[in-house]
Structure 1
Amino acid sequence: MDPVSQGALGAALPQSLARAEHTGLAMLCGIAGGMAPDLDVLIRSSNDPLLFLEYHRQFTHSLVFIPVGALMVGFTLWAVFGRRRAWSFRETYVFSLLGYATHALLDACTSYGTLLFWPFSDQRFAWNNVSIIDPLLTLPLIGLIILSRFRRRRWPAALGMLWVVAYLSAGVVARDAAEDVGRKIARSRGHDPLVVEAKPSFANLLLWKTIYRQGNDYFVDAVRLGREPVIYPGSTVPALDLRRDLPWLQANSLQARDVERFRWFSMGYLALDPRFPDQVMDIRYSMLPNEILPLWSIQLDKGAQGSQHVRYRVSRERGPDTFQRLWRMIRGLPLKDTPGDSPAGLGGAQLPVND
């Protein structure tokens, strides 16, 4: 998740266990420990644009690395601040350990993918029960850890932990409900997919993006949960087929290997961007949940030499009414059709889904 959420949760756990006089130390060490694993974003290469995708949420997020990462955080805090202030190294380390331990598990609750069991497995865990940024989760937690610090009491931080557990549990229930609606959408089209996945949209647990594959095509829709769930029909795009979509790509080329690296990162959710025939996109993320307009993709070069990497592209393109449309979808309101606002030209009609 975002660094603020990670730091807040990292502070809450050690604060909820610390003695009254150590709530400030627990808060500081927990924030540092909770945020430290994301320092892996500094692992980059100007020659290999996909290197950071391999290392972000990799070894620093592994469960077996927690004691090591926490030791690095705890020793740094103790060496820079602690010796002059007579901090106990043991307590500094334990508080950092508790904060560090929260990070990977919270990240695994998002849809990005986290390598919890590296180096024993390269499986990316994504439980899809909370958005990468969700103020409804984070703001109450921040208030409670601040209260715990200035009241010098453990109970506000403990209450914050309970809030996080309750919110993430609600996300699991909502995810399962959205997947159930997604299966109904598929059946209404005469489809019977093996897997339907639901991923939360930005900053809420009401509006979800559903994705399933039928034959060679991905189907993307948005589901707004409620007493009577509402769907916003979305887009369809063929799953990436290298022979069909990129017949010129040599199997042993560096670009071909980069495509497979990107496939691993995206958990297989790849398609050729309908707007750009040289770009392969990750369809899991989009500004609006019923769209396939990607937030990131890779660009290939037909004329490139065998030793040239692909280019990594990040897109923040959005229309002037994107957030207005998102807000209407969160509220379950109908949308005005705007032809051409997505690759499939679908504006998002509102349809009720009944049992």
Structure 2
Amino acid sequence: LVTHALLDGMTVYGTQLWLPFYKEAVGLASVFIIDPFYTLPLLLGLAAALVAKGNWGFKTLQLSLFVSSLYLVWSVAAQHWVEKTVQANLPESQAALLVTPAPFNTLLWRLVAVSDSHYYEGWYSLLADEPEAIEWRAVPRDPQLYLALKDHPSVEGLARFSDGFFQLERIENSVVMTDLRMGQEPAYVFRFEIGRLDASGALIGPVERAPVARPPLEDGLAWLWQRLWGETALDLIDWRAAKGT
């Protein structure tokens, strides 16, 4: 149980390790929530232990735990190196930076930089990219809308939960808030309609999940493979547009 909580603490959402003394979540964001390079050694070690005779089963489990733990250490080191490397190439020098691994690996890293006026998404492959060649997709933010609504409980809560990596936008008469940490532009896991603006500018109505248009899984996996090896420098949006999908 303890190791599971510690592993959760290495994902982008983290877990509240220090309750009841400290309620904020601890999240290093050095591994994706599903990573076969961490899980497979443990599964192989368990399978071998079940069929091994004598002391080999215990030794196999020890080895698998060592390999998977070493992978976690690698993930932290790789994340730290990417973060230090990218800091000198931010689109805005004062932007807050989030570095998280792409799905299922720790060789391709997703970069999110947030300032008051914009947020930016970029990608960095340890196998193929140069820091100065990072291509950032810029998306405008609405700082005036946030200033007007920042004390609303739902806005304040999600802003705190997302560690400031959020988008708040007005779509027609609705206010939509997105956690930028999980997913990629424009398909994010947590996207909410906070409410609707009445004539006075106040938010009314319940909080609801906002619809998200997700690309087909096969497109996402194909792009991930090509981006990892440097076969494309495009992000998923431009890659799908070039492909005509």
Q: TM-score, normalised by structure 1?
A: 0.57
- Residue ranges of structure 2 left out of the alignment (5+ in a row): none
Paired amino acid for 1:297: R
Aligned residues: 233
1:323 maps to which residue?
A: 221
Equivalences for residues 283-298 of structure 1 within 5 A: 283-287=180-184, 291-298=185-192
The yes-or-no answer on 1:259 pairing with 2:161 is no
The yes-or-no answer on 1:171 pairing with 2:75 is yes
Choose which of 322, 332, 348 in structure 1 pairs with 2:230: 332
Deviations 1:235-277 (A, max 9, x none): 2234563x42585x595xxxx2122221222122111258776
CA distance in 2, matches of 1:145, 1:240: 51
My pick for the range that moved more, 191-200 or 299-308, is: 299-308
2:196 maps to which residue?
A: 302
Paired amino acid for 1:101: V
Higher helix residue share = 1
CA distance in 1, matches of 2:136, 2:94: 17
The yes-or-no answer on 1:216 pairing with 2:117 is yes
- Give the direction of change, closer, same or farther, for the CA distance of 1:318–1:274 in structure 2 (3 Å limit): farther
Given that residues 239 and 269 in structure 1 are in contact (C-alpha distance below 8 angstroms), is that contact kept between their aligned partners in structure 2?
Answer: no
Superposed displacement of residue 335, structure 1: 4.3
Superposed displacement of residue 331, structure 1: 1.4
Choose which of 213, 219, 234 in structure 1 pairs with 2:136: 234
Question: SS of 2:196's equivalent?
Answer: coil
The yes-or-no answer on 1:244 pairing with 2:137 is no
1:192 maps to which residue?
A: 93
CA distance in 2, matches of 1:154, 1:273: 55
Equivalences for residues 42-121 of structure 1 within 5 A: 100-121=1-22
Equivalences for residues 15-26 of structure 1 within 5 A: none
CA distance in 1, matches of 2:36, 2:65: 15
Question: SS of 2:77's equivalent?
Answer: helix
Deviations 1:137-164 (A, max 9, x none): 1112101012123326311111111011
Structure number, greater radius of gyration: 1
CA distance in 1, matches of 2:114, 2:138: 10
CA RMSD of aligned residues (A): 3.3
- Residue ranges of structure 1 left out of the alignment (5+ in a row): 1-99, 349-355
Question: SS of 1:143's equivalent?
Answer: helix
Given that residues 197 and 204 in structure 2 are in contact (C-alpha distance below 8 angstroms), is that contact kept between their aligned partners in structure 1?
Answer: no
Paired amino acid for 1:283: L
- Give the direction of change, closer, same or farther, for the CA distance of 1:202–1:316 in structure 2 (3 Å limit): farther
Higher strand residue share = 2
Given that residues 146 and 168 in structure 2 are in contact (C-alpha distance below 8 angstroms), is that contact kept between their aligned partners in structure 1?
Answer: yes
The yes-or-no answer on 1:140 pairing with 2:38 is no
The yes-or-no answer on 1:154 pairing with 2:73 is no
